Amino acid sequence: MGLDDVRQFTLDSLSGTVSQGTASPVTGVAPLSGVALGPQSGTEGVLTPQDLWGVYDDPGAAALTNANGTSTPATLESTHTDVGQGQTMGIFGEGETSSIVAQLRLFEQAMGFPKIPVRTVETEGGPDSAYGDNSGSIEWYLDSQSSTGMAPDASQLDFYFAKSLYDADVFADFADWADDPNGPRQMNASFGECEEDPTNPITGPLAQVPYGTEFGDELEAVGEPILRQATLEGRTLFSSSGDTGSGCPELVAPVIGAGNGLAIQPVPDVSYPCASQYVVCVGGTVPSVDGTAYPQAAERSAETSWTFGGGGTSYFIPAPGFQAGVANVDRQCVSTPSGDPYSPADAPTCRGVPDVADMSGSSTGNGTGSPGGADEYFIYIDGEPASEAGTSLSSPLMLGQWTRIQAAAPAKVQKTGGLGFADETIYRQAKGADTCTTSDTSPCSADPYARDFFDITESEYGVGNGAYQAGPGWDYASGWGAINVANFAQDVDGSTNAAKAYGGTEKAAVTVAEAQTSGPAGDATDPVVASLGNDAALNITGATLTASASKGIVATLSGPDLGALPPPDAGGGATFYVAWLSTTGGQDIVWFAQAVESADGTWTFSSGDTGAYGSGSYGYKVDSSSQATGSVDTGTGTITIDVPASEVGSPAKGSLLLDPQAFSQLNVGTPAVWLALTTDSADNLKPVSADGGLSVSKGQQLSVGT
């Protein structure tokens, strides 16, 4: 399975000549402080959840947003306006989840959101150590922070996580959800591979190797009955359409994340599970807004389909009943998936995707703003304010927006399982535009379609997504377009208020005198070449943090082989962090203690911060005059870092250091020019040992002593 997220790096992140240790990608910006003028009217830049509430006309967008563009937890907790109350959302993924929750807590703090309770379900049974992989962690950071960004009052966020993204593991994810009586009504899958085709007996197994191709599908045959079951239960899976334009991920390089975007693939085809008739497939758009700061940043200027957004026709899956009568869904099937051909006279119309679209952003903006002059969504990545893009953003955004629509359904609908499979409702609301075709010169004006959707009629650069162009009504680049959430909810539910009261935040973190974090052994998957396996010298199995108002900070990291030389592909060495959040001068800042190992085994120690949210100055900024000291014990695999309190905000006695976390980064390149890639982490949110799921997301907070 390929992931569908796009990460941007600025030149600062590629230079090892900045202060030693400033290796982390400087991807974060304050909302729209780095402005890029794209090919369409308006401003392109990094958008926050509150910006998108305005762009997509979510209920209470203005009333629930402060003048500075953030919200207040107490206001969200007390509002009757629909913000997802009473609903549970879920995310399919693989590997460890504790680092995901740690970033989610930083994001909630910055945005002014309540802390959502999190439940983790290990879908293939224990032990916990089998779920240690974090090579796809940024994907799960994006999924969790975008879905909750749209529905911050949801009752719970569930992670259904397998051991890997091989087809058999994804099958376990799907099956656990469909069979879980407490499973969410709505889920997200930000991954995909090519749909099943007649060559599958040969190409299917090829998709199960670390690289080569995703042109093969061992999931579809077993996945379809499970997804059909979920649909009959009234549940909905949202899935990204992919970042390879009108082609599926046919060519995959031997690098984690390669094959998942920014290259239109040579053969037009669609991805699975996106193409399933039991899935809402979500395409990508590039919105531009009216200004560089809230509230202008929450006002849509234009919105186009994304150049690399997936979309097109299946060749083998017949169009489902809800697409019957849609004029633009007009391509015939070639054969059944097993290869039985249709005659031209008998060939059914085939499934068209996407169904709807949402912000993917774009990595191709022509401005000079960070990151890369592109539309992206604000998130936290390993303690750093950052941003992400791709249809891996589009799908969880739609998940959160649908969660709001579900939450506004009347009580009698809630009691019978909610609104049911979302595509049935989506196509019913768009039915008045079924006959709208590409020959029309203006967006379809039929209600309720014109009221409930924003019709995407143009592509980002006028070239479509390779084989298909956006146009009036439904199209193979953007589906029905973007949803106008408030109008859609009003038309479907008769209200934009939540049917249930807010369910409450996660329990308060446990206050401790020494924060202790943990991580599995053997899970430091090489971020450059996955086939190299575990980078033992970067594998963190534990970390501690203590703080004294007079003596400062003491951080330790431990692991079986810490202190050994970095792996051969770490030409720029390796960096180790212990980070935490504290309030300094009225601002919430992530501080860190840092140890840097050069490629030849030389160690240096320092401290720094990643920038206060809203400052516009983000990244792992090292104190160039740091007096931090440290030591490395190769016998015990322990790194110790001592940091003067004055270097990290001078925390007062009794104050709290929140969300402690530790991670390592492999610096690929040379000692002069390198790129930092997070390799392993250790967090204070313990892994789950109950296969049925357990909420363990409250974590720890460190009390500063004398």
**Side chain identity at 425, as an amino acid letter?**
T
The tokens for 316 are 């083998």
Domain boundaries, given as residue ranges, for the chain: 2-6+30-493, 510-703
Angle at CA of residue 114, ends 581 and 282, nearest 5°: 105
Please give the average per-residue pLDDT across 308-312, as a whole number.
Answer: 93
The yes/no answer on whether domain 2-6+30-493 falls in CATH 3.40.30.10 is no
Cβ-based neighbours of 701, under 8 Å, separated by 6 or more: 509, 510, 511, 512, 515, 656, 657, 658, 659
Average pLDDT over residues 99-105: 93
Q: Who has greater pLDDT, 568 or 687?
A: 568
Of the candidates 539, 570, 527, the one whose C-alpha atom is nearest the C-alpha of residue 664 is: 539
* Cα gap 684→193, rounded to integer Å: 34
The reported pLDDT for the residue numbered 694 is 52
Q: Do residues 374 and 29 make contact, with C-beta atoms less than 8 angstroms apart?
A: no
Nearest 5°: CA angle at 282, between 528 and 174?
A: 70
Q: How far is Cα 518 from Cα 696, in angstroms, rounded to an integer?
A: 14
Q: Distance between CA 23 and CA 220 in Å, rounded?
A: 41
Tens of pLDDT along 1-45?
A: 556 554 443 323 322 322 223 222 222 233 333 333 347 889 888
Q: Among 50-54, 201-205, 576-580, 702-706, which stretch is predicted with the lowest mean pLDDT?
A: 201-205
Q: Provide the pLDDT confidence category of residue 266 given band limits of 50, 70 and 90.
A: low
3-state percent helix, strand, coil for the chain, nearest multiple of 5: 20, 30, 50
Residue 482: partners with Cβ closer than 8 Å, 6 or more residues away? 56, 285, 303, 356, 357, 358, 359, 453, 454, 456
- For 640, phi then psi, to 5°, come to -120, 135
Query: Over the stretch 638-654, which tens digit does the pLDDT of each residue have?
Result: 999 999 999 999 999 99
User: For residue 177, is pLDDT > 80?
Assistant: yes
Indicate whether 354 pLDDT > 90: yes
Per-residue H/E/C for 391-405: HHHHHHHHHHHHHHH
CA–CA gap between residue 113 and residue 586 (Å, rounded): 18
Summarize the confidence of residues 306-335 as an average pLDDT. 94
Global model pTM greater than 0.75: yes
Residue 430 and residue 231 in contact, taking contact as beta carbons nearer than 8 Å: no
413-455 pLDDT per residue, tens:
999 999 999 999 999 999 999 999 877 766 788 899 999 999 9
pLDDT computed for residue 463 by the predictor: 84
How big is the chain, counted in residues? 706
State CA 411 to chain mean position distance. 31
pLDDT per residue as tens digits for the range 506-537? 988 999 999 999 888 888 988 888 778 899 99
> Given this model, what pLDDT does residue 17 score?
26
Spatial distance between the Cα atoms of 244 and 66, rounded to a whole number of angstroms: 38
Question: Mind listing the pLDDT tens digit for each residue in 317-330?
Answer: 999 999 999 999 99
Per DSSP, the residues of 42-103 read SBBSEE-HHHHHHHTT-TTTTTTS-TTS---HHHHHH--B-SSTT-EEEEEEES--HHHHHH
Over residues 241-256, the pLDDT tens digits come to: 998 887 776 554 434 3
Question: Cβ distance 346 to 274 under 8 Å?
Answer: no
pLDDT for the residue 259: 44
For residue 83, what are its two tokens? 């913000």
Q: Residues 124-164: pLDDT tens digits?
A: 987 777 888 888 899 999 999 999 999 999 999 999 999 98
Specify the higher pLDDT residue, 496 or 248: 496
Close Cβ partners of 159 (under 8 Å, ≥ 6 residues apart): 90, 91, 93, 97, 100, 118, 119, 120, 121, 140, 144
Mean pLDDT taken over the chain: 86
Does the N-terminal peptide bond of residue 127 adopt cis geometry, omega within 30 degrees of 0? yes
- Write down the pLDDT at residue 136: 86
